[in-house]
Structure 1
Amino acid sequence: MTTQDPDTALIAQDPDAALVARMGQGDEGAVRQFVTARLPRVLALGLRLLRDPAEAEDVAQEAFTRAWRQAPRWQPGQGRFDTWLHTVTLNLCRDRLRRKRHAPVPGGEDLPDPPDPQPGADAMLEASARGQAVAQAIATLPERQREAILLVHYQDLTNIAAAEVMDISVEALESLLARGRRSLKQHFAQKEGWRDE
C-alpha cells in the first residue's frame, strides 16, 4: 500500500494550498495569480448581493486585501481558502447592506432612491429578460434565503461549502434553499406567461 505525500493530500483538500503558501511567503506572482483566478467569482457575488458595481469592487478589494494578510497565517488543512474567501466576501456585503439600511437620509426618509443612470448590475449579468426577472425575484427573497440561493446556484459552491460560508448546518442551508426555491416558484407562477419547464 502506498502512502500519499502529505503536501499532495493537502492540495487535494484545497487546490489553493500551494498558491496560498506562496502568497504567505510574499510571492507577488502568486498574489496576482490568485486574484486573477478568484476575482470574477468574488465580484459576481458582490454584484448579486449589493446590486452596485462600485460597491462590489470595493468589497472585492477589501476581500483580497484580507486574503493577502491572512495567507502567512493560513494553516493547510483547516478548510479551503476559497471557502474562507467567500465567507469574508459575504460578511463584507452583509456589513454594507446593514449600513445602508441604518443610514438615515436627512429629510428624505420617504423619498425613493434616485434612478441609476448606468445599466444595473442585473442588466450586465443577465443577458436575457428571463435572467433579469429571476435576478429581480431573487433580490426580493429574505436575506438568508437569497444568500443560500446565490452561493449554491450562482457561485457553484457545494451545499457543504455554502453552509460553511454561512456558518450554518447543511440541513439549515437545505431548508433555506427549499424555502427560497418555493418562493421563487410561487413568484413566477403568479406571473402571466410563465411556464414551468
Structure 2
Amino acid sequence: MDMPYDTQEDIPDDALLVLYANGDAAAARVLTLRLTPRVFSHAYRVLGDRDEAEDVAQEALIRLWKVAPDWRQGEAKVTTWLYRVVANLCTDRLRKARGVALDAVAEPADDARGPAETLLEQARMDALQAALGELPDRQRQAVVLRHIEGLGNPEIAEILEISVEAVESLTARGKRALAAALAGQRAALGYSDD
C-alpha cells in the first residue's frame, strides 16, 4: 500500500528507494521530484546542452530504478551513487562528441526580470558555460560538483573515484582557469572592481 505523499517528504532517499523497490509508487514520485532537478542541473553544467542533459538525467534515474531492488541501505548515499552515474554518462557523451562543439542552450527567461537584467544574466551564464566548456573533463566535473552543485570534497572524491586531495587540486586549477578565461569579460558582464 502506498504511503500518503505528504508523509514521505522527510524520509531519507535510501529509504524511499527501498519503498519504491517494494512497490510504493508514491515513494518513486517523491524521490523523482527530489532528485531530477539535481541530476539535470549537474548534467547540463557538464555537457552544456539541455537535450543531452535531459537524456542523461533520464538514463541515470532509469538506472536507479533498476538497482532499487538490490539497494542496501547504509552502504552508499543515493545522491552520491546517482552523481557518479551522471558523471560517467556525461564523460561517455563528451568522449563521443570530441571534435564537435556542444551548443550552449539559453536558459529560459525569468518573467520577473526586466529585459536588460535578463540579457545580462544570460550573457553571464553563456560566458560561464563557454568557460566551463574549455576546462578538461575532470576539472569541469569537479568544479561543477563543488561550486555549482555545492557538494563537499569527500563526496566529490567518491563520485569521481579519486582522492580528496585530487578533488582539491582539480577544483583549484579549474577555478584559476575559469578566472583567467573570464577576466577580460568583467566589464562586459556588468562586474566592476568596486
TM-score of the two chains, using structure 2 as the length reference? 0.78
Q: Which runs of 5+ in 1 are unaligned?
A: 1-13, 103-111
Partner AA of 1:69 in structure 2: K
* 2:144 aligned with 1:150: yes
For residues 34-72 of structure 1, the C-alpha deviation after alignment (integer angstroms, 9 at most, x for no partner) is 111111111111212222222211111111111011111
For residues 122-153 of structure 1, the C-alpha deviation after alignment (integer angstroms, 9 at most, x for no partner) is 53499502232122211111111111010111
* 2:46 aligned with 1:62: no
**Counterparts of 2:109 and 2:14, CA distance in 1:** 30
Identity %: 43
For the 8 Å contact 2:91–2:137, the answer to whether it is kept is: no
Aligned CA-pair RMSD: 2.5
* 2:43 aligned with 1:49: no
For the 8 Å contact 1:42–1:60, the answer to whether it is kept is: yes
For the 8 Å contact 1:122–1:135, the answer to whether it is kept is: no
> Aligned in 2, Cα 1:188/1:157: closer, same or farther, shift over 3 Å?
same
For the 8 Å contact 1:51–1:122, the answer to whether it is kept is: no
For the 8 Å contact 1:159–1:173, the answer to whether it is kept is: yes
User: Match for residue 35 of structure 1?
Assistant: 32
* 2:124 aligned with 1:130: yes
> Aligned in 2, Cα 1:192/1:66: closer, same or farther, shift over 3 Å?
closer
**Counterparts of 1:20 and 1:38, CA distance in 2:** 11
For the 8 Å contact 1:48–1:121, the answer to whether it is kept is: no
| Residue among 152, 155, 158 paired with 1:161 | 155
Partner AA of 1:139 in structure 2: G
Partner AA of 1:157 in structure 2: L
For the 8 Å contact 2:142–2:167, the answer to whether it is kept is: yes
User: Match for residue 184 of structure 1?
Assistant: 178
**Counterparts of 1:96 and 1:21, CA distance in 2:** 30
For the 8 Å contact 1:59–1:93, the answer to whether it is kept is: yes
Runs of 4+ in structure 1 off by over 6 angstroms are none
For residues 15-46 of structure 1, the C-alpha deviation after alignment (integer angstroms, 9 at most, x for no partner) is 31211110121211111111111111111112
